Chains A and B, each alone.
Chain A
Amino acid sequence: MTFEIQHLTAFYGKVQALHGLSLRVEPAQVHALLGRNGAGKSALLARIMGLLPAAQGRISWDGQDITHWPTPRVARAGIALVPETRDIFASLTVRENLTLAGRIGRGDWTIGRVAALFPNLSPRLATPAGMLSGGEQQMLAIGRALMTSPRLLLLDEPTEGLAAPMVATLQTALASLKAAGLAILLVEQNTRFALALADRVTLISRGATVWTGSPDDFADAQAVRARYLGA
């Protein structure tokens, strides 16, 4: 169940967003992906899902080359995306958002289990998802991803715009998902949040990997942090 990317490139139209990026996510680990705005983090997730067209390089998952797979097939293979913009289906109810994603799930995730993980959602199942608060939308976006029974979760800046209590709820939830065996590729600007969960840290800049190591090594690598994160 290993996920590996080798020398990946990708383009937004004519603009190159990834320049030969390599990365590996081990089963049941949280891999934090850090980097400045525009470093190519969201482009990487979009490319993995097949939402950006394939260029060079290779994506392998569970022993299969999924580089050129269309998006629905990637999703059905157990990779789920929670985009930075959340992209919940605003005109559908919360329940419909979850049920639709559950169509390709294996049944290990039910609406009840999502509601147990995010209790804020349970009184709002019949509400149009567009009426939810930002934090609730984030929970729905994660719950929707979980309903597809993923084994790799791609999370794009989940704490962005959330109040502190919501961030704490999210951290507990993600820790329990990791404990349940889910691998997570976590893109974050909030370095503290990412390091609290991460087993491995990768720094990217201009669409390529510039540093990778353990969270402890990352804490010691002050020069790297200063250069690529300005912190």
Chain B
Amino acid sequence: MLNTLQQAALLLLISSGLSVSMGLMGFANLAHGALYMLGAYIGIAVAAKAGFWAALLAAPLAVGLLGAALYLGLLARLRGPMQQVLASFGLVFIAVEVVRILWGDVALTLDRPALLSGSAAVLGVDYPIYRLFVILLGLVVGAGLWMGVHRSTLGAMLRASVENRGMARAIGIRTEALFLATFALGAALAGLGGAVAAPLYSANPGMAISALIPALIVTVIGGMGSITGAILGALIVAGIEVFGAALWPDASAVLIYAALAATLIWRPQGLLAVKARR
């Protein structure tokens, strides 16, 4: 149960940015997993010099800036999903090679900070404090995103721009700047996810792909462009992963794809998709 929440928190960090860029901006960004990977490596590098908490700040900041540069330099200039898929997938290979050159092909780990090491009794079981921290972070980020999108003016601007970009521009919303900021925020969250995941799972170049696939599944199941959908999708996928592995280990790898296929058959737009025009 707690493992589900912890896994869901992590998935939410990765997939919320993907959901926003794909659903809200119509942008197939396969490099999102690479941003997550870079978050982990930057986090490890910064932690070695300045400690865990600095890494937790630096990784999203650096990856967010990188995301902004990526958006301006490349992705915003590409029109059409095929170009975006090919270009962003190409970026995955570049990022993976850069990581191999800088850090080598071995798995690296990040030590948990002293404050969050050890375990605590939760509902009668001992549970690592660090995982509780990840759950808390996921709750904070999920609630923050939900409030931001549904209760703030900026969120309303974003929802209006997604629904009808031309009309949003016609009432004075500078959609390009808004999308840039949103994309950068999504990248920053992936970077944060990477840094947070590093103490749990070792960082390796393969995570650019291995993180992308569940994030894509979360986005498709939850419905593109919906924060609530991303939260729901993250809970579903994490639940299937954790409980599937415990109850029916032989089939656990297949179960997620079965859920994906079922979603595509029954509700191809995802559980809570946002309708977008133009």
Q: Which residues does A use to contact B, with CB under 8 Å? A: 49-51, 70-72, 74-76, 80-81, 83, 87, 89-92, 96-97, 99-101, 103-104, 144-145, 147-148
In the complex, are the beta carbons of A144 and B169 less than 8 A apart?
Answer: no
Residues of B within 8 Å of A70, CB to CB, are 169
Task: Report Cα–Cα, A103/B173, bound state, in Å.
Answer: 9
In the complex, are the beta carbons of B166 and A72 less than 8 A apart?
Answer: no
In the complex, are the beta carbons of A75 and B160 less than 8 A apart?
Answer: no
In the complex, are the beta carbons of A90 and B163 less than 8 A apart?
Answer: yes
Overall SS of chain B's interface: helix
In the complex, are the beta carbons of A83 and B156 less than 8 A apart?
Answer: no
The 8 closest A-B pairs by CB, nearest first: A104-B172, A71-B169, A75-B172, A101-B171, A87-B167, A89-B160, A96-B156, A72-B174
Task: Report Cα–Cα, A99/B275, bound state, in Å.
Answer: 21
In the complex, are the beta carbons of A51 and B170 less than 8 A apart?
Answer: yes
In the complex, are the beta carbons of A72 and B160 less than 8 A apart?
Answer: no
How many chain B residues have a CB neighbour from A under 8 Å? 19
In the complex, are the beta carbons of B156 and A144 less than 8 A apart?
Answer: no
Task: Report Cα–Cα, A96/B159, bound state, in Å.
Answer: 10
Residues of B within 8 Å of A81, CB to CB, are 170
Residues of A within 8 Å of B163, CB to CB, are 89-92
- What would be 10 A-B contacts, judged by CB atoms less than 8 Å apart? A51-B166, A71-B170, A72-B174, A75-B169, A87-B167, A89-B167, A90-B163, A91-B275, A92-B156, A100-B171
* Interface positions of B from 164 to 206, Cβ below 8 Å from A: 164, 166-175
Task: Report Cα–Cα, A71/B175, bound state, in Å.
Answer: 10
Residues of A within 8 Å of B275, CB to CB, are 90-91
In the complex, are the beta carbons of A75 and B167 less than 8 A apart?
Answer: no
